[in-house]
Each structure stands twice: as structure tokens, then as C-alpha cells.
Amino acid sequence: MTLTPATLGEAPGGRAPGAPYAPHYDDFYGEPRDIWARARDVFLHGNGLPGRWQQRDRFVILEAGFGLGQNFLATWLSWRDDPARCDELIFISVEQHPLQAVDLAAAHAGKTGPAAELAARLQAAWPPLTPGWHLLDFDEAGLPAGGSGRRPRVRLMLGLGDVNRLLPALLAQADAFYLDGFAPDRNPAMWDERLLTRLNRLAAPEATLACWTHTPAIRGALAAAGFELAIMPDAEGHREALSGLHAPRHVPSPPAGGLWRAPAPRHRHAVVIGAGLAGASAALALCEAGWRVTLLDRESGPAQATSGNPGGLFHSIVHGEDGVHARAHRAAVLALWQKAGNWLASGQVRGQPDGLLRLDPKTDEATARATLRRLGLPKAHVTWLTAEEAAQRCGVPVPSGGWWFAQAGWLHPAGLAQAMLEAAATGFPGALTVKFGVEAAAMQRDEPTGQWQAMSATGAALAQAPTLVLANALGAPTLLGTLPDELAVAVPPLSAVRGQITALPLPAGLPQAPIAGSGYALALDEHTLLCGATSQHHDADPTVREADHRHNLQQARRLGLSGLPSEEDDVDGLDGRVGWRAVTPDRLPVVGALPWAPARLAHVPHLRADQVRQIARQRDDAGGLYLIAGLGSRGIAWSVLAGRLLAHWVTGAPCPVEADLRDALDPARFLARAARGAAAQAPDSSS
């Protein structure tokens, strides 16, 4: 899915001078004096806003056609001005031709007062124009807390790409729809009848819609989606404006692994076991969603296991097909970059987030540039550097060209985990309880109360809640093994991969930027070089080994670094650290509700075990059992997105990635693959 950014210009022939014009569609975004009026009179009024979001925890709006962002800004401003506002406003919007940052700023140049402030905040958060979903969070700490005591916030979930590909892959329940966009005769894809009919799947109970125009085909498609429609009588200047109420004749039950309804407020409490990057991110995301979290860890502080390394890399990957792995890694890195930017800028988290070189000796310049053109990835995110360009950028005579990722670098993992926990504690007072130095040895469910309990080795309950999240990496399978047969779940395959890193005096102040390839090298500070890391299966040795130091140094030399200890030098005095990564067979994390064990699934009638979203899960309307693990060697990169995805599973919030990416990280994917494999090997009964 490639992107072509929009361009702003003047309409030919002197038509409507000063009006923002889109040459791609030969149409206007709207007259400057009319855009805000349309947002207010059509979209807000047509959806009964602000009244419908009042006294609610969360309100979700889905817009087709972000354009200049005027509807979002007008809605955000109305929400801010409403003292009875909902705690969280989630605004989902899709745009196939997004504006470049400079054009967005130009489009908002005439704004004054509060509108100008919000426009400036949007511009500051504007992401690189890569395909897929981008989550932009706007904290409103200056507003008074709502009735629930939560800090108000706005989340813009911006989908860049073809609406006919993004909306069918969206998992969300929208309370209101804004159907905007260019005129149907200029942009028919936005008004595709099949797309409009499918809005039924995305509509929350009693959802409403507003549309600035309509045709018989549009009305028919919306009626087929279950909307009762009416012409808006008082949308001044918009005689074709349409409003609707979702009142379908039939509402199907959600599939076992699909989007789950939000638990009642009394059940919004989770126990999270493990305070590494996975657990800290899960805790923060749940607190942001208005939940209470009790976080347990056996260590004396956060990120003391593998997450305790002094530094680690984060960067996207480029693949010619831009498949699941590439898209998921890109989404994860951009989520981290957006979330951690302020922490890095303030020094709360140590790191170097302004670019990374990934060497690729198997790719030549022509192939690389052709790949970037075909994928439509912007230079603001990734570009190809020749060996000479890369050497100049990094200050190291690298042996080949490679990919330069702008939203990449390194950071301190324990500092990131600590920043997440501090953000949860200070941003949502009373929501987070942390208990260090306690080890969960078993788990059980108290059936009379429906509470999941984490138990000590002596049988004492350490904590309990309707929802239990395992974020303790390689410790999760052991805990899950303590469940009785009637609660048994399928444990995803997690293997321990040993890794040793090496730290030594920095040679001649280099490299100027982190370099990765078969290994990696980065400057932790002006005195220390960090390089690594080994990758050893079936190796439980905790000692720092000389042979592994030599391996890491050899990898660093292959990246082009010089001035390192030679193969003959003594390396016993070098610093090092050993840890074990939890890795899945497909090298993707596992995030979501745990599926029933095969023995339990065998008793489910008409089960489609080959379909990941049809597999029964260990959860109900009160809570459930969830896993966030397998972040592997990319724990820093995965952390923020994995936490958000976990919160989506638990709270019913919109999914932060496309459905196929969610499925690719689903703990039930291994069961589904096994079922498909068994079906493929079964004899054909028809022959």
C-alpha cells in the first residue's frame, strides 16, 4: 500500500481564490470561511455532539477523509470547551493523500486563539507519511479530571492509505461517523457502496452518522448498513447533509478472538506479572485506558532481567514485499518514537534517537532505491546510503551501503520502563500499585468471585483482579502450567535465547550513530562502546565468557570499527552482561487473550480452529487471562505497541494496527497454523 502525499494549490481559472484546492481530485477542501461551519453544523450537530459524549468514559469517532484536519480540530476544541466531556476522545480518521508537514502548517496558518494552539500541537505530532495507522496522543493535563478521576486525553488514530483497505482491516466500535471527503463524482472510492455497507461492522450500539452530501446509492448503502436516515433540516448552507442512527435488525455476537466489549467499571482492575518493558508498557496502557493496575515483580525494581541491558537498538526493517514482519516492525518503531520522544528530549531516558544505519551488503543501490519507490516509503523515514555516504554519516569506514532509518537509534531499556511507570503513577494518581520483591509461583481463579489470583510459593494470595496479564517472559509457561485442567490454556512456544553483550572504552569517539548488521555497535556515552550480541539456543550458562567477547568484537570489526582489541589481546577485563530473550518461532511477540488448551477446544462444537479469531479464549464479560511476551531481541522497539495492543484486547478500545497484524501477534496463531497443517495432511474424503 503506497502513499502519494497531497499538494495544495490554487484552482485553475481563478476559481475560489484562497480556497485550499486539491489538484489530484480537482476539488476544494472547502472554502476557508465554510470549513469550520461545516464541521460544527454538519458533523458535530448531526451526531448530537457534544451531548452524546457527556458523562462517558470513552467516545469513539470514525471519520472518512481527514483532509486538512478541520473536523478533528473542531471536535477537539468542542470537547475541550465542554465541562461534561468524556474522559477519553478517540478520533479515528483515514486519509489516502495526507499533507506533508509543511503544507499542513500552511493550511492552518490563519488560525488564531485556541484553534491555533491545537493546530500547532497537531503539526508538532505529525508523523512521517508511512502507510498504516499512526496513534497521536494529546495529553490534557491542564483540564480538570472527569467524574472518574481520570486525566482527560485525546487520541488521534490516523490511518494513511486507501480507505477501502484500511477500514475493512479496522477493529473498532465507533459511536459516531463523520463521512467527509471530496465529492462522490471526484473521489468515488471514498463513497464505494460496499465500503459504506460494511460500516455496520464498525458501529457501536446506537451509533450515529453525519454526511455532508448524499446520492441514492449512498443512501441505499447506508440503509443496508442498518442506519435510519434523515435529511438534516437545520444544517445551514448544506442542504444535502444527512444524519443517521444505527438501528440494525440483527447484531451478531462477537467471535471469541475478536473485538471484545468493554468490561463494566467495577471490573476494570488488572494484575500484571512482570515489570520489564512488556509489563511496564502494559501497565501504562491500561492506566491510560482508565484501569487500575497492580504490578508484581520478583526483582527489586523494573527491568532487572534482559531489559536491564545498558542500551538497545530500535529501528524499522525494509522488505521488498512489505509483508507482516516489515509492517509490524514499522508500526512498533513509530509508536515508540512518538511515545518516548519527550522522555528522550528531557533526558528522563538516556539514548540517541536521531537515526541508525542498518548495513545490507546483499542489496545494491539500484535495487534499494527501486524498492523504496515501489513501497512508497518516504525519505523522512528511511533512505538508502551508499558505503561512502554511510561512512560520512557514521564516521566509520563501513564495508557496504545500508538503510538509514530516521526514527531509530538506541535507548536505555530500564530507563524506558521506569519512565512508563512514572507516567502511569503521576499521570493517573492512584491507578498503579507496584509490588517489587514478590514472586508469583502459581495462579488460580477464585470461582465465587471470578477473581484471578497470583499466589506465592506458600499459597498466599499476592494480588487478585478480574483480569490477569502475564508479562514475565520465560516465566509465563511455568505459571500457566499451574492451572487446573478445566482452566488450561494453550501456551505459545517460547524459547530462551542467551545473549551476551560487551562494553569497552570507546575508540576515537566513534561511531557517531548506531550501526547494525550481523551485530551492532553504539556509543553509550563519550567513553563507552557497547557491542553485541550473541544468540545462543539451549545455553543456560550465566557467566560472561571470553569467547563471546571475542565474537562481539569480531562482529564490530565487520561493521567497520577499528581501534578495538585484536584477536590476540586479553579481553578478560572487558565488561559484559548475560541475559535470555524470550523468542517465538516466527520471531514475533505474542499479545492477546490466551486460547483454550486443545483438550478443551476438542469439546467445542463447529469450531473453526484454523481461523484465529474463532478460537475460544480464557475470558468473559468480567475479565480474562492475557499474555504479552516474546518481544525477543527487539523488546525496546516492540514495547509501546505491544502495550497498546494488550490494552485493546483487555478494554475493547480500537485496535492500534490492522487486523492482519493483530492476528500475526495473536497467541492463538500457533493453534490455527497447526489446524491448517493437519487439514492439509488429512486424506481427501471426496476421493
Q: What is the mean pLDDT of the chain?
A: 92
- The pLDDT tens digits of the residues spanning 108-143 come to 888 888 999 999 999 999 999 999 999 999 988 778
Nearest CA to 359 out of 400, 329, 325, 410 is that of 400
- pLDDT per residue as tens digits for the range 587-635: 999 999 999 999 999 999 888 889 999 999 999 988 999 999 999 999 9
Asked whether the domain spanning 265-305+414-494+586-679 has the same topology as the one spanning 33-246, the reply is no
pLDDT of residue 246 exceeding 60, the answer is: yes
Position 31 scores a pLDDT of: 54
Integer Cα distance of 585 and 618 in angstroms: 23
Alpha-carbon span 8 to 28, nearest angstrom: 10
Mean pLDDT, range 102-110, rounded to an integer: 88
Buried b (16+ CB within 10 A) or exposed e, 311-348: bbbbbbbbeeebebbbbbbbbbbbbbbbbbeebbeeee
Q: Find the range with the poorest average confidence among 30-34, 348-352, 447-451, 480-484.
A: 30-34
Can you give the pLDDT at residue 7?
75
Q: Which pLDDT value is given to residue 134?
A: 98
pLDDT digits (tens, 9 = 90+) for 496-523: 999 999 999 998 768 999 999 999 999 9
- Domain with residues 33-246, CATH architecture: 3-Layer(aba) Sandwich (3.40)
pLDDT surpassing 80 at residue 190:
no
Q: How would you list the strands of the sheet with 351-352, edge to edge?
A: 312-314, 409-411, 351-352
Mean pLDDT for the stretch of residues 429-456: 96
**Grid coordinates standing for 257?**
478472538
What is the dihedral sign for C-alpha 103, 105, 111, 114? positive
pTM for the whole structure: 0.95
pLDDT of residue 687: 47
- Read off the pLDDT band of 207 (50, 70, 90): very high
Q: What is the predicted pLDDT for the residue at 260?
A: 84
**Domain assignments of the chain as residue spans, ordered by start:** 33-246, 265-305+414-494+586-679
Q: How far is CA 49 from the centre of its chain?
A: 28
pLDDT at residue 682, rounded to an integer: 72
Read off the pLDDT of residues 566-576 as tens digits, 9 standing for 90 and up: 988 999 889 99
CB 465 within 8 Å of CB 324: no
Residues linked to residue 64 through DSSP beta bridges, in sequence order: 94, 179
Among the listed residues 635, 591, 627, 409, the one whose alpha carbon sits nearest the alpha carbon of residue 514? 409
Q: Which CATH number fits domain 265-305+414-494+586-679: 1.50.10.20, 3.40.50.2300, 3.30.70.260, 3.50.50.60?
A: 3.50.50.60
